[in-house]
Amino acid sequence: MHTITRAGIAVVPPHLRPRWDAESDTILDILDSYHRHAASYRQITGASLDGIDGLLRDDLRCAAPSLTAFVDHLMASLEAAGCAAYVPDLGLSHHTPDHRARLFYALSTMIGTPSPTDARDGRILWDVTPRPTASGYYATFSEHDGEAAFHTDTQYYPMPERWVALYVMAPAACGGGESLLCDGEAIRAALDHPKTRWALETLEHCPLPFRVPSLFTTDDRPGAVQATLAPVFSSTPGIRYRRDTVLDGWTQFPEHHSHDAQKAVDCLERTLADPRHSARFTMPKDSLLLTDNHRALHARTAFSDRKWHLLRVRMRGDELRSGPNAPMVSTIRAPTTALARTNAHAQ
């Protein structure tokens, strides 16, 4: 646990977890009253939350005091540690998979406002598991079994969500799929050195084109490609980064590429590769990781077990009032073999 706490991750002990035996039925009844259309957790959508997320949160806080106390401690622990809070055993293993997912969703609504993770159907709970994708589809890390390099979530959004929660339904039996996490503030401090300060200044002031994955584009025109223009380091968010979305952004929008920016990204990659700045750990079944997406970068090793399954919820806080949204650019590109190969990338 030393490397975990060193990387700005708080570990929440099991004795502080919610009293699910006393509160789970009540929590599920409350969720059902707000989401009667949802026959399974996959049908819980953002449209159902429009204007009622605060009411749902208030109802849960009144009816589930131990869940409320747990969430308050979880958030306080994250704030004290810096970038993440880790719960090795949430205590939901004896529940059905659907109930585990719903209770994880209830916990998430008490942290912030869950945002739709699928632009097509408004789904809130996202299954992080390998799936087949069509040729030419620009995939995300959550859709394949390869390595996921250090990144922040939705770095391609004009304003990324503040919180990201991951819950393990089934770990990889092959031993792969290990989690890595590092503190963006530590990376920023490491770059603030006479030999690399030029890179930090470039990454603070030079907007990079973060390519938007196919699933999240807002331009429906055939062949449309989008990118969000933003620096890596800013006040809000503190950091946004994913190397392959930047590289693809430069390919699609070469007018936003520069030699200095390329060198600065390469310098950042070398800093991220230094193991002194990160923690590496295995998340078992029923574990939970909550990260500050404006500060923490996370990564994952490759795996071969196709039954590996996590759930992810992204939540907004008050970030939309904390800073200006980054601008988006859009262009039309004809399908090419090179573009089809981007199917190998992922978020």
Q: What are phi and psi of 134, to 5 degrees?
A: -80, 155
Q: Residues 234, 218: contact at Cβ < 8 Å?
A: no
How much is the pTM? Answer: 0.88
The span from the CA of 203 to the CA of 200, in Å, is: 5
What is the secondary structure of 195-206 as a DSSP string?
TTHHHHHHHHHS
**Structure-token pair, residue 47:** 């449209």
DSSP state of 150: E
Supply the CATH number for residue 106's domain: 3.60.130.10
Question: How much is the mean pLDDT over the chain?
Answer: 87
Q: What is the C-alpha separation between 346 and 146, in angstroms, rounded? A: 8
One-letter amino acid for residue 88 of the chain: P
Query: What are the beta bridge partners of residue 181?
Result: 279, 298
Other C-beta atoms closer than 10 Å to the C-beta of 15 total 5
pLDDT score, position 323: 66
Provide mean pLDDT across the span 109-133. Answer: 82
- Residues of the domain holding 189: 2-344
**3-class SS at 188?**
helix
pLDDT at residue 321 greater than cutoff 50: yes
Q: How confident is the model at residue 264, as a pLDDT?
A: 98
pLDDT of residue 340: 38
Nearest CA among 220, 343, 237, 245 for reference residue 296: 237
**Which pLDDT band holds residue 151 (cuts at 50, 70, 90)?**
very high
Nearest partner of 6 among 149, 181, 254, judged by Cα: 181
Domains contained in the chain, number: 1
Stretch among 151-160, 202-211, 232-241, 272-281 having the lowest mean pLDDT: 272-281
Q: What angle do CA 298, 301, 303 make, to 5 degrees?
A: 135
- Per-residue pLDDT, averaged over 115-139, amounts to 72
For 87-93, what is the mean pLDDT? Answer: 97
What percent of the chain lies above the pLDDT cut of 90? Answer: 67
For the record, the structure tokens of 31 come out as 């969720």
